[in-house]
Chain A
Amino acid sequence: MKRVEGLSKLTGRELYVDDLPVDGFLWGATVRSPAARGRIRGIRFDDSVDWSEFTVVDHRDIPGTNAIFLIEEDQPVLAHGRVRHLHEPVLLLAHPRREELRRAVEAVHVDVDAEPPVLDFRLTPDRERIQYGDDNVLKRLRIEKGEVERALAQAPHVIEGVYETGAQEHVYLETQGMLAWEEDGVITIAGSMQCPYYIVEAFEHALGRTPDRIRIIQAATGGGFGGKEEFPSGIALHAALLALKAGRPVKLIYDRSEDLAVTTKRHPSRVRHRTGVDGDGKLLGQDIEVVLDGGAYVTLSPVVLSRSIIHAAGPYACDHVRIDGRAMFTNSPPFGAFRGFGAPQSLFACERHMDRIAAELGIDPVEIRKINLIRDGDSTATGQVIADGADRVQVLDRALDLADYYERRTAHAGFNAAEPTRRRGIGLATFFHGAGFTGSGELFLDSEVHVAGLPDGRIEVRTANVEMGQGTLTVFTSLVCDRLGVPAEAVTIAPADTSLVPNSGPTVASRTVMVVGGLLEKASDDLRTRTGLPADADGRAIREAIREWHRSHPGEPLIGKAKYEQPEHIHWDDETYRGDAYGAYAWGAYVADVEVDLRTFAVSVRDFVAVQEVGRVLHETLARGQIQGGVVQALGWALLEECKWRDGAMENAQLTNYVIPTAGDVPPIRVEFLESPYPHGARGAKGIGELPFDGVAPAVANAVAGATGTDPASVPLTPETVMDLILRQRPPAGSLT
């Protein structure tokens, strides 16, 4: 099926938020904290500016609770009394001219009595730096299976490792932005977002309004990757507060430097493994500690930590596992949702550690994975018994085959022996990703979708799930077409506008196709039933029956509905962290072939193979696009993208010195799917969007290890890091005898 979304994007007619035409609007801007931590002593306004021309908003203008509603209500909409991170929003300004506004932002001085900040999540804070609870731990979670201490005490080998990953900026090409206006007493937002109903909830709390006086509309969204999950609630509130006070529409659009400096990023991590194995490499016990940098407010860190620890033991069967997780408070802008949501961090550690174990025992990295990969009937760390019919060893074999793994390994040995300045290596990773919200999360979301029959016989799909490049509209159209037997022209997708669509949950967690798509199938069935037709009625009959229904029910809506019901096989206990963490997992095996230049220490990826089992593939082209895009974004995290910090915030906040991959930096990505349909997903589909992020960094790092004989323990593997690894291992020529 041809892509529904393409045409307007190719002809320049797609309207992103900054493109929306609006009369008489003001530009908005944010005045931010100059310090990482402290008490606000005062705010001074320079006399050089005529402030009567400006709309000025501070915490006193917030009609409801001064908090951005999420898991906890600790993050203020605008700082009051104290600041907890550099760039924290303190004051808002609006003016008709952008140039005047920029000058005005510079003319406001927030005076802060600085206090000692926490800038390293890995260190135990001293007393004067405690700012959350009595230990700065935002969230603590534990998974326990079997008796890990006994297993480690009895294991022939215990191998340890500590692994770290850096922050990563989403770099959606369209920066964050919101347009707000009030119309007939309804505060309305149009903007770049993944989760319109998150913003509704945030507005209910902070603006003290009922949902009927809040309308949130998704404008065309230029990429999200998780960066437009929770962050937009704050900027939407800022735009709304300015618009309400000014009595005029307000556009609040971040420029790239502001976006890079102040928005959420992938959580930095430190993961420690202590693993008991027998001589063949069979895992006997896994003791794992996962620590994430949460930043200055709780935001989504507890659930990122949850997904991180659930994936930390890898796709392996082991009877004795203990995983301790902590998300730490620091005085940094909060870290947030980003494709993979904690799993890439813990899987990097796991997969790098598997290669370390293999190296220490002198066994093949392929074999150690084959011995330990989950077979149907085995259970994960949370005790979830896997019996999905997927063959994880076959996924690995297919990847090895496609990559010519063994042939290349042999060829590289020859190349490395002959070449003075270049080293080649091939590395792999096996991994998994649970789709949908964790545990009982989907139950709490209580998603609802509508499939409406219109008077002219057309069918309208109504969900709050957004298109941001993945092809949501195309897949939703094709699912409803297939279910009802109607042509694509008969189906339209309602805009993601909370005044028109029910709350089908956020567009996150690889849940859109699997969960929401599944609900669309049920709602389509419900629509057919409401028209009085049997399940085998064809599309022509359905469209005629819809028209007929409207003739006999003039003015009434005809809506097929479906609400989420948890599949019966899912049992999860939030207290003990035991049970079925996810309804389904997708499985992957990725192979990277790299070359390291010993003069520049740059790593280039020569070839990349991505094989995955994702249930049923619903749209091959779109699915491949998700994998290729995810792999390249993860290559950036693995090799290039490094946040430099000053006072807890990103200092290299420009695309000139925060470098993401270009077409010249990446190899062809060879993608293959294996299919083992998931009975509860739309047409058998499992989640796909985040999976590709998980396997890339460890495959690349394992390849670098193979190429250079080093033991990388962190990403990004920038030339500086690789240089340190190689020089530390092999002192410069001349110093050896």
Chain B
Amino acid sequence: MGETLTIRLTVNGEACDRSVEPRLLLSDFLRHELHLTGTHVGCEHGVCGACTVLLNGESVRSCLMFAVQADGAEITTIEGLATPSDGSGIPHPDDADLHPVQAAFREAHGLQCGFCTPGILMTLVPFLEANPDPEEEQIREVLSGHLCRCTGYQNIVKAVRLAAERMRT
């Protein structure tokens, strides 16, 4: 093991201190150090978007960042998106605890194998906050930073529209 650096950050609302090697990727840090395995790694070089998380509210590709670059930051991963009301950490199956984007994906069948889904959701949350009533072209544009091999994207676009509608009202 080489030299390590101590980083202090907030992940899904919880403070955490860790010693890490400078070259440890943020994606590996989240997956292997914090065991937040909902952040998926699909290509390791920033193309597929599956590893997207929120860094101070903005979407970033965690495979293109080192963990040390997130020092002092607030990170939200897919695990932090739903807010289980009973404190169990596990969302209720009736969808009531889900973020509107998650609920819309469930309702509109916006996922198949689910591997790309967490990254897409983490891009859409800030996108829909900034663009509450997006045009189809804007939706396709923002989605084009993510690869999905199962759905043909049609239901993903539909789910985004549904989520936008719900978040506006």
Chain A, interface SS category: loop
CA distance A173 to B116 in the complex (A): 7
Residue of A nearest to B78 (CB): A12
Contact residues on B (Cβ < 8 Å of other chain), bracket: 35 or more
Chain A residues, CB < 8 A from B45: 256, 654-656
CA distance A220 to B111 in the complex (A): 14
A173 touches B98 (CB 8 A): no
CA distance A220 to B147 in the complex (A): 19
Q: Is A668 an interface residue (CB 8 A)?
A: yes
Chain A residues, CB < 8 A from B81: 11-12
Q: How many residues of A contact B (CB 8 A)?
A: 55
Chain B, interface SS category: loop
Chain A residues, CB < 8 A from B151: 625, 628-629, 632
B152 touches A629 (CB 8 A): yes
A10 touches B113 (CB 8 A): no
B143 touches A662 (CB 8 A): yes
Q: Is B82 an interface residue (CB 8 A)?
A: yes
Chain A residues, CB < 8 A from B149: 170-173, 223, 225, 629, 633, 660
* Contact A19/B121 with A7-B91, A669-B154 known, Cβ cut-off 8 Å: no
CA distance A660 to B113 in the complex (A): 17
* Min C-beta distance of B142 to chain A, whole Å: 8
CA distance A157 to B130 in the complex (A): 63
Interface residues in B121-169 by Cβ distance below 8 A to A read 121, 139-141, 143-157
Interface residues in B21-61 by Cβ distance below 8 A to A read 31, 35-45, 47-48, 50
Q: Which of B3-11, B65-73, B102-110 lies on the face that meets chain A?
A: B102-110
Partner of A9, one of B35, B42, B111, B156: B111
Partner of B113, one of A174, A622, A624, A669: A174
Residue of B nearest to A6 (CB): B106
B153 touches A625 (CB 8 A): no
Interface residues in B64-117 by Cβ distance below 8 A to A read 77-79, 81-82, 90-91, 93, 95, 98, 102, 105-106, 109, 111-117
Bitwise interface map of A from 623 to 657 toward B, beta carbon under 8 Å scored 1, else 0 = 01100111111000000000000000000001110
Residue with the highest number of chain B CB atoms closer than 10 Å, among A6, A170, A630, A668:
A6
CA distance A171 to B149 in the complex (A): 7
CA distance A630 to B150 in the complex (A): 8
* Contact A669/B106 with A12-B77, A662-B144, A664-B140 known, Cβ cut-off 8 Å: no
CA distance A630 to B151 in the complex (A): 8
Residue of A nearest to B153 (CB): A663
* Contact A469/B141 with A256-B43, A662-B146 known, Cβ cut-off 8 Å: no
Bitwise interface map of A from 466 to 485 toward B, beta carbon under 8 Å scored 1, else 0 = 00111100000000000000
A622 touches B109 (CB 8 A): yes
* Min C-beta distance of A621 to chain B, whole Å: 5
CA distance A660 to B98 in the complex (A): 31
* Contact A469/B112 with A663-B156, A664-B143 known, Cβ cut-off 8 Å: yes
Q: Is A16 an interface residue (CB 8 A)?
A: yes
CA distance A171 to B48 in the complex (A): 10
Partner of A172, one of B113, B140, B154: B113
Chain B residues, CB < 8 A from A655: 43, 45, 47-48, 147
B-to-A contact residues, CB < 8 Å = 31, 35-45, 47-48, 50, 77-79, 81-82, 90-91, 93, 95, 98, 102, 105-106, 109, 111-118, 121, 139-141, 143-157
Nearest first, the 5 A-B pairs at minimum CB distance are A12-B38, A9-B114, A222-B115, A469-B113, A469-B112
Given contacts A12-B78, A625-B112, 15 further A-B contacts (CB under 8 A): A12-B36, A13-B90, A172-B115, A173-B42, A173-B149, A174-B113, A221-B113, A469-B112, A621-B155, A625-B150, A628-B154, A629-B150, A655-B48, A663-B146, A663-B153
